Amino acid sequence: MVRAQPLKLILILTLATSACGLLTPGSDAPTAVPVPPTLTPIPELTADQIRNAQYQMNTREDHPLIQLTDGGYQQGTDPISPDFATATISDFIAFGDLNTDGVDEAAAIIYESFGGTGNFAALVVFRNENGLPLFVTSTFIDDRAIINGLSIEENVILLDAVVHAFDDPGCCPQLPTTRRYALVNDQLRLTHLTTSTPAGDIREIDIRAPLEGVEVSGSIQVTGSVTIAPFENNLAYSISDASGAEWATGPVQVIAPDLGAPGTFDVLIDLSGIPAGTMIFLELQDVSAADGSLLATDSVQLVVK
């Protein structure tokens, strides 16, 4: 018994020393790692939600906010009544990010009718508001427009449609067009448009410089090409800001070997008077000499420094 006590004492001291070592400040004790909060993703919008969303009518003068139900709406039963109205969503519904916030918006084509032969097509945008569709804006396309395609790619809406040329009968639009729309300050801005000739040739403007999004000051050299030279070889340019205010307009001469042949342009445009920091849109247009309609357009977004 006497001999066992020193051994027992040594064992107790050893365990105590080990325990103290574990509690010594500066030791390699594990450090608690904070767990980041879990962000609940916003549910994506669905086509069924868009068919049952609230929509502000585009072509009626008072622009009432209406409730779509299963893709449709009707006010009144008598088509000859001045209060009669219908709205019908088409099968063309597209989803994609229009404002680079990482959350997809929805674009759709909705037709409105007021009892006559007209069936007015509008391009409509809905925002994803915590998983629910919220009407943002719309823009008129054409009466009885024939839609061939609708998509959202690289933050713009792409629309393929047949609309009325100047002399087309009301029943039968015959002018093929492609369009690009950007969402700017919650409004749709047409950034590119092509039309086709009766022979099937595409009329298009391509601005090659300046590039989209660059900073500019003083003046800008604008270069590019057209697939079909415009009337009297003249395009028109305009410079406007995000609110739609126009800062400058003027002609752009096209160099082409023959009437209606492909051509190029190279023009210096003055920017004096536009405040630094202003976001501007430089737009080139081919305007019909017969009726003033738009045959082609292209634009770039720039920042004045």
Q: What is the pLDDT of residues 210-222, one digit of tens each?
A: 999 999 999 999 9
DSSP state, residue 233: G
Instruction: Give how far the C-alpha of residue 100 lies from the chain's centroid of Cα atoms, to the nearest Å.
Output: 10
- 242 has pLDDT over 80: yes
pLDDT tens for 81-109 read 999 999 999 999 999 999 999 999 999 99
CATH number of 197-305: 2.60.40.650
Q: Which of 44, 132, 121 is nearest to 89 (CA)?
A: 121
- 11 has pLDDT over 90: no
Residue 41's pLDDT is: 87
pLDDT tens for 50-80 read 999 999 999 999 999 999 999 999 999 999 9
What is this structure's pTM? 0.86
Please name the residues in contact with 210: beta carbons below 8 A apart, sequence gap of 6 or more: 216, 220, 221, 222, 282, 300, 302
How far apart CA 73 and CA 88 sit, in angstroms, is 7
Residue 19's pLDDT is: 42
Domain ranges of the chain: 41-196, 197-305
- How many CB atoms are closer than 10 A to CB 245? 10
pLDDT tens for 155-210 read 999 999 999 999 999 999 999 999 999 999 999 999 999 999 999 999 999 999 99
